[in-house]
Chain A
Amino acid sequence: MTVKRKKVTSYQKPWIILFLAPALILTSMFTIVPAISLLSYSFYSWTSFKRTGWAGLDNFQKLTQFPFKDDFVGAFQNNVLVFLILFLTQTSLGLFFALGIYRLRKGKKFFQAIIFLPVILSLVIVAFMWKLFLDPLFGPVNTFAMQMNWQWLNQPWLGDPNMAIFVLIFIGLWRWVGFPAIIFLAGMNSINEDYIEAARIDGASELQIFRKIMFPLLAPSFTIIAILTFIGAFEWFELPYIIGGVTGQPGGHTTTMALLFYRLAFGTIDSSTVDVGLSSAVGVILFLFVGFGAAIGSIYLRRREVQQ
C-alpha cells in the first residue's frame, strides 16, 4: 500500500503498545511458545509428563525401529493415500460441480448452499452419522442391500481392514467436496465474460472454452485447494479417531500420523506407557513435513498460474 503514514509521535507510542499487547501476548503464549516447546520436547526423554533427561535424537531414532516403525510407516502411508485420493476426487468433482452451478440459470444459490452444507458440520457429527449409517447390522445401507439382495452393497464397510480407509476417505470427500466447488465457482465468476464471449463468436465449443480458457485461469484456485488438501490430509484426526478409535481399527488399518501423535501422548489409560518425547518427535516431523511441503508446493504451483 502507498498510503502515507506519518512518523509516530511520543504521545501515540503507549497507545500502539496497548493496541498490540493483548493480541501479541495471547499469540505468543498459546501458539508460538508451545510450538517452540514442542521442538525442545522431542530432544528429551520423558516419564509420563515429567522431563527426565536429554535424549538427543533418540526419539527420532526410535521411530525407525521396532515396535514403532510399523506404526509410523503405516500411518504415513495412510496419510499419503488420503491426500492422493482426496486431492484427485475433490478437485475433479469440485470442478464438475462448480461448472454445473456456474452454468445454471436458476437455483445457483440453492445448489451452492446444499453443496456447502456438509462443510459447516462438525467432523464429530459427520463421523458419528456415517458410523450409524454404515452399521453392518442395523444401518440403512446394509439393510437396504439385504432387502434388495444386493451382495455388492452388503459389505462390512467400516469393519473390513482392506476397505475401511477408503470408506473413511469417501466420508471425508462427502464432508469436504463443497469447499473446492465453491472456490472454483468463485474463480469462474471472476473470469472476464468477454473472453468467453469472444471464443464463442469464434466458434469454440463449450468444452473447448472450458479447457482452453477457464481451466488455465482457474490455476490460482487450484493452488489453494491443493495446499489446503495437503495440510488437511496430513492432519487427519477426528474422522479416523471417532470411527476407527485411537488405535485405528480395524487392525490399525485406519491409523494416521495425527492419531499416532495423539495416541503416544494421551491415548492410553495407563499413563506409564505415555511417551511424550516420541509423540513430540512425531509432531515435529509432521510439522516440518507439512510446512515444507506446503511452501514448496505453493511456490511450484504459483509459478504455473497465468495472469488474466
Chain B
Amino acid sequence: MSAPNKSAATLPLDIILRFGLVINATMVFIPLLFIINSSFRSSSDLFVNPLGLPNSFDLTNYKLVLTEGDFARYFLNSVIVTFTSLVLVLFFGACAGYALARYQFKWNNFFYLFFLAGLLIPAKLALVPLFIQLKNMGLLDSRIGLILVYSAGAIPAAVFIFTGFIRALPIDLDNAARIDGASEFQVFRRIMLPLIFPVMGIVGIYSAIPIWNDFLLPLVFIRDNSKMTIMQGISVFFGEYGANWGALFAGLTLAALPLVILYIILSGQFIKGLTAGATKG
C-alpha cells in the first residue's frame, strides 16, 4: 500500500511525472538557449555550422542591432507606451472601482454591467472602427493613440478587480476618516490607495504584460519608424536584415531580455498576476 503521506514515497507514477517535467523544461530551454548562443556568432559562421558554439564572446551582432536597428528607440517607445497606459489604468481603474464599491447611487449596477461589457469586447475585432476613429482624431501614428486604446482595453478588468477587493474592506475606515474631516478624495487617497496597494501589483502585471507584448495595434496604427514599439520594431528588423542571421538572433535576444529578466526576479508575482481572474483567491 502506498505511504500515508504523499511526500513519503516515490512511486512509478512520480518517476513518469518527473520525467515529463524534465522533458518539458528541456523543450522550453533548447530554442531559447539556441537563440542566445547564435546571437554571439557571425552569420557566415552560422550558415556553415548552424549547431556550433561561439568562437569567442563576440558582440558584433549586438553592436549592429543597437546602432543600425533603432532598437533603443523602439525600446523607449514601448516603455513610454506601457508605463503611461499602466498609470492611467491603475489610477482611473482604482477611482472607478472605489466609486462602484463604496457609493450606493442609482446607476451603480448599470455602470458595473457597462464595464463588464467592456471586458468582453476584444479590441482586436474593433480594429477598423478604431482605425477610422483615431484617424479622425489625428491620433494615427501617435503614441498617445496607442496609450488611449490600451488603457481603455485594460480598464474594465482593473475596475472589476479593484471593486471586488474594496468591497471586502471594512467601510468603517472611510467613515472614521470622514468624521475626522477628510474630503472624499482624501478618503480615497489616504485610506484606500495604501490599502489596495498589494492588488495594484496584480492588476499592474495583468495589464502591462499584454501591452508590452502586443503587436497587432502598432501594426495597424503606427507607420512612422520613430514611433514603433519593440514588438513591431523586431518585425521590421526581420524584414530588413533577413539575410543577416547573427543580427536577427541578437535582435530577438534583446527584444525578449527585459521581460525575461523581470520574470526571473518576480516569477511568483508574474504567475499570480497573469492568471488573475482565472484562479479565484
Q: Which residues of A contact B (CB under 8 A)?
A: 1, 3-8, 11-13, 15-16, 18-20, 22-24, 26-35, 37-38, 41, 49, 96-97, 99-101, 103-105, 109, 111-125, 128-130, 132-133, 138-140, 143-144, 147, 174, 177, 179, 182-183, 186-187, 190, 196-197, 200-201, 203, 205-207, 221, 224, 228, 231, 235, 237-238, 242, 258, 261-262, 265-266, 276, 279-280, 283, 286-287, 290-291
Contact assessment for A206 and B13 in the assembled complex, using a CB-CB cutoff below 8 Å: yes
Q: Is there an interface contact between B216 and A197, defined as CB atoms closer than 8 Å? A: no
The answer to whether A129 and B92 have CB atoms under 8 Å apart is: no
**Are A12 and B103 also in contact (CB < 8 A) when A22-B92, A41-B129, A235-B122 are?**
yes
CB A43 to nearest CB in B, in angstroms, measures 13
Bound-complex Cα distance A5 to B171 (A) = 8
A26-B148, A207-B13, A266-B220 known; A125 and B96 CB under 8 Å? Answer: no
Q: Select from chain B the residue with minimum beta-carbon distance to A284.
A: B125
Alpha-carbon separation in the docked complex, A182 to B195 (Å):
28
User: Can you list 15 A-B contacts with CB-CB less than 8 angstroms, sorted by A residue number?
Assistant: A3-B167, A5-B171, A23-B95, A31-B152, A37-B132, A109-B268, A113-B263, A121-B256, A122-B215, A124-B215, A124-B255, A138-B245, A182-B275, A190-B281, A283-B125
B245 touches A124 (CB 8 A): no
The docked-state distance in angstroms from the alpha carbon of A6 to that of B104 is 7
Give 14 new A-B contacts, CB below 8 A, not counting A100-B17, A124-B235, A238-B215: A8-B104, A15-B99, A16-B103, A22-B88, A28-B114, A30-B149, A30-B151, A31-B126, A100-B20, A114-B29, A143-B50, A186-B275, A200-B4, A287-B125
Q: Determine whether the beta carbon of B31 is less than 8 Å from that of A129.
A: yes
State which of B88, B98, B171, B220 has its C-beta within 8 Å of the C-beta of A4.
B171
Q: How far is the CA of A31 from the CA of B34 in the complex (A)?
A: 40
Q: A1-B167, A22-B92, A258-B124 are in contact. Are A140 and B50 (CB under 8 A)?
A: yes
Assuming A26-B155, A41-B128, is B34 touching A133 (CB within 8 A)?
Answer: yes
Tell me the nearest residue of chain B to A203, going by C-beta.
Answer: B1
Query: Which chain B residues have a beta carbon within 8 Å of chain A's beta carbons?
Result: 1-2, 4, 6-7, 11, 13-14, 17-18, 20-21, 24-25, 27-29, 31-32, 34-35, 38, 46-47, 50-51, 88, 92-93, 95-96, 98-100, 102-105, 111, 114-115, 117-118, 120-133, 135, 148-149, 151-153, 155-156, 159, 167-168, 170-171, 183-185, 188, 209, 212-216, 219-220, 231, 234-235, 238, 245, 248-249, 252, 255-256, 259-260, 263-264, 267-268, 270-271, 274-275, 278-279, 281
CB-CB under 8 A for A286 and B252, given A116-B267, A123-B213: no
CB neighbours of B170 from chain A (8 A)? 3
A contact residues around B29 at 8 Å (CB): 114
Query: In the complex, what distance in Å separates the CA atom of A24 from the CA atom of B83?
Result: 21
List A contacts of B281 (CB < 8 A): 190
User: Sorted from nearest, which 3 A-B pairs have the closest CB atoms?
Assistant: A30-B152, A100-B17, A122-B213
Query: Given A20-B96, A200-B2, are A49 and B132 also a contact pair (CB < 8 Å)?
Result: yes
Question: Inside 8 A of A24's CB, which chain B residues have their CB?
Answer: 96, 111, 114
Contact of A20 among B4, B35, B47, B99 (CB under 8 A): B99
A31-B123, A97-B21, A138-B50 known; A103 vs B95 contact (CB < 8 Å): no
Q: Are A103 and B17 in contact (CB under 8 A)?
A: yes
A206 to B1, CA, bound (A): 10
> Which of B100, B128, B278 is close to A283, meaning CB atoms less than 8 Å apart?
B128
A120 to B259, CA, bound (A): 8
A19:B188 contact, CB within 8 angstroms: yes
Q: Looking at the complex, which one of B99, B260, B264, B275 makes contact with A179 (CB distance below 8 Å)?
A: B275
> Looking at A16, A201, A206, which has the most chain B CB atoms within 10 Å of its CB?
A16
